[in-house]
Structure 1
Amino acid sequence: MIALVWIAGLGAAAQYGKIGVVFDRLPELYPDVGAALGWTVSLVGVIGIVFGVVAGLFVAAFGYRRTLVCCLWLGAAMSALQVLALPFGLFLATRVVEGISHLGIVVAGPTLMAILATGPARGVALTIWSTFFGVSFALLSWLGLPLVEAQGVRALFAAHAVIMVGLAVILHRALRDLPVPARTAFPKLRALPALHLGIYRSPFKLAPAAGWLFYTSCFLAILTLLPPFVPAEARVFVMGAMPLVSIAVSMSLGVVLLRVLPGVRLVQIGFLLCAVTMLWLWVSPGDWRACLALAAAFGLVQGASFAAVPQLNATAADQSEANGAMSQAGNLGNGIGTPLLVAVIATGGYSAMILTVAALLFAGAVVHQILASQRGGRPAVAG
């Protein structure tokens, strides 16, 4: 059951990845739109930035199982439409709707995992969930790109649609007998600002998202911008290995450490190790060993951040709100990280980029410490 929910996460990550891995070939479909092609990636995240926090409230009201299955169907429908030769404006519209599908899956998925797993298994399950982006991108590179070479870009969209339909059918049957909390009342629109403030002011609900913002601001940006600074003979190996090392550490050492350390503490350790390895890269530019050490440290942050959600929030509704905040933070971090570092490189070069990332990662550990002090050592609470 946990594996099935995780595979649904792979489908959600592919809503980003199916464009990311073929971005250089999109001009074949839309040759005259120029820089506007960038919207094909970012529009999926806009929904998460705007509605990420309150998504948890709506998911709790609509139902976790129902949200997951309906969002899989919605994602399948959008991928099927993208197979058609849509005008560029309509293609962008399908990407906006995919953002709704993506947000529903990434909020409902980890909440269902936390329901399915109890005790030490919960940390393992949520660490597994945390790998969904990296695994999905790897699969798209290994399996999707050969399909694109043989059949064209739209064949990848068709394959994604078929996979999402299959997941919707399977999970509808697999989850129907899973005991889940009773659905809550839908929030009133006029109450949404206050609900946002309620989440932002809670050091329990906000903490995982606050750390996740710093992680996502750095992880994708580093993978995107570091390659030119890695020696050419090692570049392909290093950039291919970094996501896999991160996942491997998250699933091995991260799982073991979560049995003896709280998730927040492990996130802080991961952030500090990341900052140290950035200083290593500052002293030894492009060193492949430092790159892999950085990926390993990122792996500690990755799984522990999701594991911290149920550790800090006792009820499914609170966990859903915390996951919604994480989704918002992740989309925001992915959106601002790369442009920020591009600007930093333009003004200060490699050293400025490395030191900026080191400062951001150190700040992530500090922010977690501030929120921990606000919790005052209290256990997870509802509300």
Structure 2
Amino acid sequence: MIREKSDWFLILALWGAGLGAAAQYGKFSAVFDQLPAIYPQAGAALGLIVSSVGILGIFLGVAAGLVVTRVRYRRALLWALWIGAAISAFQALLPPLPWMLLSRALEGVSHLAIVVAAPTLISQLCAPKDRGLALTLWGTFFGVAFALLAWAGLPLVAWRGVPALLIAHALYMAGFALFLGARLQALRLDTPLPPLSAVQILRDHGVIYRSASISAPAIGWLFYTFCFVSILTVLPLYIAPQTRALVMGAMPLTSIAVSMTVGVALLRLMPAVWVVLIGFAGSALTMVWLWVMPGNAIACLALSGAMGLIQGASFAAVPQLNTNPETQAQANGAMAQMGNVGNTLGTPVMAVAAGAMGYAALPLLAGVAFVLGGSAHLILARRRRHG
């Protein structure tokens, strides 16, 4: 059924659940400097407390889309929220490191189910004219969650310690599970699906990445995520110390603001893929600017604004290119997979290149990645036009 009116109350609730999923990444990133005191013998393994949530996404992103489709979106979302709440409550006990790492890996499964099920449900709760706005809003969930963790989470930790933040996250996830369990209706599938098996998962990987419609948002997302975290990690070293904190704090906010204003306006005028292409082109041009004027504050903000167009429009492209919930879930699963690949590779590759080449590595590598992302979208668009 095509909705005439969007259910904004439920859409905002699903976005709120997405903030909880983003906090599954961010809650330990925000307190990373305090982890050595909790696990003094961990050494380099401390990094795994942050990254192990995403490692599973590299291997299970597409599988998550397939599983969520078969389990059903509402059921998968609610189970993921309850599991996430239980895991955060367990982590608040600050268990021994091996148990903490195991809990983080399991948390990755909860995270994947939420980021596949929630945007698929949001698409179905929208009138066609509102999908661009709703999915652009969804695309802000990481930036908003990390900002909230900095503004509210860190003061809570300073007051009551790391366990208080983990308990607060558990209560947040449980609260959304209760609310959405009472208000969210099951989404009926249009067609029966074959039973899930390892062979079926491998076959569906091929189907997804051969499809110029299902794979397109994910392929572009790979190049975006390769640049996003790596730029935020490496760029501050080259910004003047007196403006560094201000610029780095303003960049995510600029990205969100441009995504929700300029991005939403453009989505009402043109297809989402073209907005993504404008974002890639603008990002590549700002890397030329940053090459000529290293660390320039205005160029940094222009870069974050251009990347904001990619961020929001990539999610909006999913329902535009894929009209039924099953293929939308596959596309969202592929985005989760490619996003984790990009996040995992981007920072170490950029850091090694910057160590060997200095500052020039950043605009060169990021600029090439933005050009490749835009080129990939153009190639896939041409494939769609020719059948």
TM-score (norm 2): 0.96
Q: 1:84 is matched with which residue? A: 93
Give the Å deviation of 1:118.
2.0
Asked if 1:181 is matched to 2:192, the reply is no
Matches within 5 A, 1:6-85: 6-85=15-94
Matches within 5 A, 1:255-270: 255-270=264-279
- Of the candidates 229, 247, 250, which is equivalent to residue 241 of structure 1? 250
Give SS of 2:214's match: helix
Match of 1:252, SS? helix
Q: Match for 1:326 among 329, 335, 360?
A: 335
Q: Is the 8 A contact 2:72 2:187 kept in 1?
A: no
Deviations 1:193-242 (A, max 9, x none): 11111111001000000000000000111111111111011111100010
2-structure distance, mates of 1:126, 1:181: 21
Quick check: 1:199–1:205 contact (8 Å CA) kept in 2? yes
Q: Report if aligned partners of 1:106, 1:327 keep a CA contact under 8 Å in 2.
A: yes
Q: Aligned pair count?
A: 377
Cα displacement (A) at 1:377 = 6.1
Report the Cα offset of residue 261 of structure 1. 1.1
Equivalent in the alignment of 1:5: 14
Instruction: Give the Cα–Cα distance (whole angstroms) in 2 for the partners of residues 191 and 61 of structure 1.
Output: 12
Deviation at 1:46, TM superposition (A): 1.4
The alpha carbon displacement at 1:373 in A equals: 1.0
Q: Quote how far apart the aligned CAs of 1:360 are.
A: 0.5
Runs of 5+ consecutive residues of structure 1 not aligned to the other structure: 379-383
Do the aligned residues in 1 keep the contact of 2:120 with 2:325 (CA within 8 Å)?
A: yes
Matched residue, 1:309: 318
- How far is 1:188 from its partner? 2.0
Contact conserved, 1:60 with 1:320, CA < 8 A, in 2?
Answer: yes
Q: Is contact 1:57-1:186 (8 Å) kept?
A: no
How far 1:323 moved relative to its partner?
Answer: 0.4
| TM-fit CA distance, 1:135 | 0.1
| Shift of residue 190, structure 1, vs aligned partner | 2.1
Pick the aligned partner of 2:356 from 324, 347, 350. 347
Structure 1 residue 285 corresponds to structure 2 residue 276 = no
SS at match of 1:226: helix
Cα distance in structure 1, aligned partners of 2:346 and 2:11: 31
How far has the Cα of 1:185 moved from its partner? 4.4
Counterpart CA distance in 2 for 1:85 and 1:358 is 42
Counting aligned pairs with the same residue, the percent is 53
Partner of 1:297: 306
Instruction: Report the AA paired with residue 25 of structure 2.
Output: Y
SS at match of 1:39: helix
> C-alpha separation between the residues in 1 aligned to 2:315 and 2:227?
17
- Following superposition, the deviation at residue 186 of structure 1 comes to 3.7
8 Å Cα contact 1:58-1:186 kept in structure 2: no
2:189 partner letter: P
Question: What corresponds to 2:162 in structure 1?
Answer: 153
Residue 260 of structure 2 corresponds to residue 251 of structure 1: yes
State the shift of 1:29 in Å.
Answer: 0.9
Is residue 113 of structure 2 the alignment partner of residue 104 of structure 1? yes
TM-superposed CA distance for 1:353, in Å, is 1.6
Distance 1:184 1:75 in 2: 27
Cα distance change on mapping 1:155 and 1:190 into 2, 3 Å: same
Matched with 1:363 is 372
Separation in structure 1 between the aligned mates of residue 303 and residue 131 of structure 2, nearest angstrom: 26
Inter-partner Cα distance in structure 1 for 2:42 and 2:197: 39
CA positional deviation for 1:85: 3.0
SS of the residue corresponding to residue 205 of structure 1 reads coil
Residue 287 (structure 2) pairs with residue 273 (structure 1): no
Distance in 2 between residues matched to 1:370 and 1:225, nearest whole Å? 30
Moved over 6 A (4+): none
Unpaired runs of at least 5, structure 2: 1-9
The answer as to 2:242 corresponding to 1:227 is no
CA RMSD of aligned residues (A): 1.1
**Is 1:115–1:180's contact at 8 Å kept on the other side of the alignment?**
no
Contact 2:66 2:201 in 1 (8 A): no
TM-score by length of 1: 0.97
Counterpart contact for 2:350–2:362, Cα < 8 Å: yes
**Given that residues 212 and 384 in structure 2 are in contact (C-alpha distance below 8 angstroms), is that contact kept between their aligned partners in structure 1?**
yes
CA distance in 1, matches of 2:188, 2:121: 8
Q: How does 1:99-178 map to 2 (within 5 A)?
A: 99-176=108-185
Report the residue type matching 2:29 in the other structure: G
Could you list the per-position Cα deviations for residues 53-102 of structure 1 after superposition, in whole angstroms to 9, with x for gaps in the alignment?
12111111101011111100000011000011311000000000000000
Equivalent-residue separation in structure 2 for 1:193 and 1:85 (angstroms): 37
SS of 1:286 mapped into structure 2: coil
**Match for 1:181: what amino acid?**
L
Q: Which residue of 2 aligns with 1:381?
A: none
